[in-house]
Amino acid sequence: MRILPWVVCVFGGLISMSFQAWADDEASAWASFQAQVQAANPRLVQETFQRSHTNSPSPQEFAKITAGLSAAETAVMDQAGEFQKHFPQGAHQDAVRQALAEMLGRNFGSMGFPIPKDRVAVVEACTRKFLADAPTDLRLNLVLCRVSARLPVAQARALYTELSSEPTPEPARSLAKKGLQDLGRLGKPLEMTFDAVDGRTVRMADLKGKVVLIDFWSTDCAPCLREMPDLNRLLAKYEAQGLELVGITLDSDRQTLQRCLEKQKISWPQYYDPAGQTNRLVQQFGITSTPVVWLVDRHGLLRDLSGGEDQEAKLQALLKEP
């Protein structure tokens, strides 16, 4: 049984069932809720995929699985709300609440699955309810950090500011401070100069007039490698319109990097420093994880800190600007 149809089956079947029809049957509602919780469990989804595939997920399959898990998590939220509404004195109320908190903290917090754009406010509200009882819960604070990254700049700045002080636990507090620092870079010239691993000299000042995608990555980052075929496709499609790609690798082994560049057919310039994760540009820009994708407009101004999301649409918009 293939994972994607299974996920669709679970989503399409269980979510459409009416809680109103179960108004007098808490047992059925509880069983349905448990099934939805399983659909949002990354481990179970991965195991189902592995049983029917010999290879790792393709970039397209991975994207669908990730989106499916995010949708399943928000479905758990919806069902939990309906359960609490229809069975306020139910015997499973505490179990529903605990399961929802676990899902939120794991999927959107520690694992960092993308929060659907149309559910950001709901996720924030739900998370704050749990934090009212456990303000130092690390994973729930991480959820709010993920929420911040999905908000408009002014709202993101306010939430990052809130999370930048106690009682926010580490490392969520440091992530919030990093978010504020990054927001401060938006709309400003991005200064960067280096000699690429192939000998080319890259100066951001020389790339004015181009839209530049900057990819912070490493060869041991599976999500980074899954993005490479799509980056190749985007470059081939939009290079004539002014798109440039620049890679900043966090690798410390040059031979490993070189083999990867050849295997992935990566032609754009790459910054390399044997210092790896502590290299000069990583320290300059405060990069703490990969992949990170930034977009720079034709005027050399940093315009987007989440260039990996809705990537092609964002590039098209920037390429249309004068």
Q: What is the pLDDT of residue 24?
A: 59
- 271-275 LR contacts (CB < 8 Å, sep 24+): 271/194, 271/196, 271/197, 271/202, 271/246, 271/247, 272/196, 272/197
Q: Cβ(122)–Cβ(74) under 8 Å?
A: yes
Q: What is the pLDDT of residue 8?
A: 33
Q: Which two tokens stand for residue 153?
A: 């700049």
Q: What is the pLDDT of residue 63?
A: 80
Q: What is the pLDDT of residue 62?
A: 82
d(CA 74, CA 80): 10
Bridge-based pairing state of the strands 211-217 and 193-195: unpaired
Q: What is the pLDDT of residue 65?
A: 87
Q: Which two tokens stand for residue 102?
A: 């676990």
Residue 241 DSSP class: G
Please enumerate in sequence order all residues whose Cβ is within 8 A of that of 47, keeping only pairs 6 or more positions apart, or say none. Answer: none
Torsion of CA 266, 313, 72, 86, to 10 degrees: 170
d(CA 122, CA 125): 5
Average pLDDT, the chain: 89
- The CA R_g of the chain, rounded to the nearest whole Å, is 22
Q: Which residues of the chain have pLDDT under 70?
A: 1-24
Bridge-based pairing state of the strands 292-296 and 243-249: unpaired
Global pTM exceeds 0.85: no
d(CA 78, CA 113): 18
Q: What is the pLDDT of residue 50?
A: 86
pLDDT digits (tens, 9 = 90+) for 63-120: 888 888 899 999 999 999 989 888 999 899 999 999 999 999 999 999 988 899 899 9
Q: What is the pLDDT of residue 220?
A: 93
Domains, the chain: 3-114 (no CATH), 193-320 (3.40.30.10)
